[in-house]
Structure 1
Amino acid sequence: MLERINLENILFLDIETVPEQPNYTLLDEETQLLYDLKTHYQRKDGQSPEEFYEKAGIWAEFGKIICLSVGYFTFKGDIRHFRVTSFHGEESKILKDFNNLLNNHFSQPQHIMCGHNAKEFDFPFIARRMIINNIAIPLKLNLFGKKPWEVPHLDTMELWKFGDYKSFTSLKLLTKILGIPSPKGDIDGSQVGYVYHVEKDIDRIVTYCEKDVIAVAQVLLRFRREELLVDDEIIHV
């Protein structure tokens, strides 16, 4: 079934998120209380909400998107390219620009979005932050009333599970066992908040995010038993 999908119809994506505020003390009293309640069962015994605040970026209610990277295939005869670009800056602009991309170039029935663990994280996070930012949810993210087989989303982690819902397989592990060059650079997901709020190095985060998009595309190529991308085929725009 995967082999039947035209690669040019797939939009690969990844997001990077951070806590909305640099630290817990900057939250107003009511938000602190709500965060305390939200994270009660996630915190280790004796761990305070303030100590746990570095994890706030995984929840759309307390985090925000700082980078959204996308990639897509283009073919001209036998020449294959994978074009990668990123949206970063103010979250509302990131979401509006991404919305415009979907509506103008990936809104047709044949178009599909693809990410790793994206059904559980990236897709719902984007949709929730769009609501918070008062941005209309594009058709490809609006799942209301759709049957499971009508949802235009691919998830490489879900594909790898083959119906097994008991485990989580990271993108780094999947690329390792499939013989794909590691997408990770000099930072990992746990460091993104520090790099953003303290070091203020968004370019480093963009590079990290784009590597994940490329890795997801490589994983899908392996699932289809096709040749992996080489550096000359990847274009950053």
Structure 2
Amino acid sequence: MIDKISLENILFLDIETVPEEEAFNALDEEKKELFDQKTQYQRKEQFTAEEFYDRAGIWAEFGKIVCISVGYFTFKSDIRHFRVTSFFGEEKKILRDFSNLLDNHFDKPQHIMCGHNAKEFDFPFIARRMIINQIRIPNKLNLFGKKPWEVPHLDTLEMWKFGDFKHYTSLKLLTNVLNIPSPKDDISGSDVGHVYYVEKDIDRIITYCEKDVIAVAQILLRLRREDLLIEEEIIHI
């Protein structure tokens, strides 16, 4: 099935998120209580809500997006390129710019979005943050009323599962297994909050996010039994 999809119709993406506030004490009392209630199962009484707050970025209700990176293939004659770009800055602007990209360039029926564990995390996180920021959800993210086969999303984790719903494979592990250069050669997802709030190094986060997008594209190429991208084919915009 994936062999029949034109690579030019796929928008690869990854997002980076952080806690909405730098510190737990920056939350008002109601939000503190709500975070405490939301994370009780995950904390299992081993951590206080304050000690657990550095993980708040995984929930759209308590986190925010600081970077969305995207990539797409272009072909001219026999020349293949993979173009990568990123949206960053104030969250509302990130979401508006990303929405405009989808509406203006990836809104045709044949267009598909692809990420790793994106159906579970990236796609719903973006949609929820758009609602919170009062931004219209673009068609490619608006799943209301759609049948499962009408959803324009690919997930490399889901493809690797082959129907095994208990199975989880990280992007780092899957790239290792498939002999793809690892995108996790600097920071990991758990470091993003520190890099954003303490180091204030958004460029480092952008580089990390773009490497993940490239890795997802490489995985899809492997699944299609096609040659991996080489450095000369990757263009950062």
What's the TM-score once normalised by structure 2's chain length?
A: 0.99
2 CA distance for matches of 1:99 and 1:198? 29
1:48 to partner: Cα distance: 0.3
1:107 and 2:107 correspond: yes
Residue correspondence of structure 1 range 22-61 to structure 2 within 5 A: 22-61=22-61
CA distance in 2, matches of 1:132, 1:211: 28
Misfit runs of 4+, over 6 Å: none
Q: Distance in 1 between matches of 2:21 and 2:192?
A: 13
What's the CA shift for 1:173?
Answer: 0.4
Q: Which amino acid aligns with 1:138?
A: P
Q: How far apart are the structure 1 equivalents of 2:58 and 2:17?
A: 7
Task: Quote how far apart the aligned CAs of 1:42 are.
Answer: 0.6
Name 1:201's counterpart in structure 2.
201
- Alignment deviations for residues 62-84 of structure 1 (CA, whole Å, 9 cap, x no partner): 00000000000000000000000
User: Separation in 1 of the partners of 2:39 and 2:106?
Assistant: 36
Q: How many residues are matched?
A: 237
Shift of 1:47: 1.1
Q: Which residue of 2 aligns with 1:120?
A: 120
- The superposition leaves residues 100-151 of structure 1 with CA deviations (integer Å, 9 ceiling, x where unpaired) of 0000000000000000000000000000000000000000000000000000
Instruction: Give the structure 2 partner of residue 173 of structure 1.
Output: 173
For residues 84 and 146 of structure 1, the distance between their equivalents in structure 2, rounded to whole angstroms, comes to 29
Q: What TM-score do you get using the length of structure 1 for normalisation?
A: 0.99
Q: What is the aligned partner in structure 2 of residue 233 from structure 1? A: 233
Counterpart CA distance in 1 for 2:46 and 2:106 is 47
In structure 2, the partner of 1:224 is: 224
Aligned to 2:140: 140
Q: Which residues of structure 2 form unaligned runs of 5+?
A: none
Which residue type is aligned with residue 23 of structure 2? N
**Cα shift readout 1:213-237 (whole Å, capped 9, x = no counterpart):** 0000000000000000000000000
RMSD between superposed Cα atoms in Å: 0.5
Matched residue type, 2:25? T
CA deviation vs aligned residue, 1:25-74 (integer Å, no higher than 9, x gap): 00000000100110011103241000000010000000000000000000
Higher alpha-carbon deviation: 105-114 or 182-191: 182-191
Unaligned ranges ≥5, structure 1: none
Letter in 1 for 2:231: D
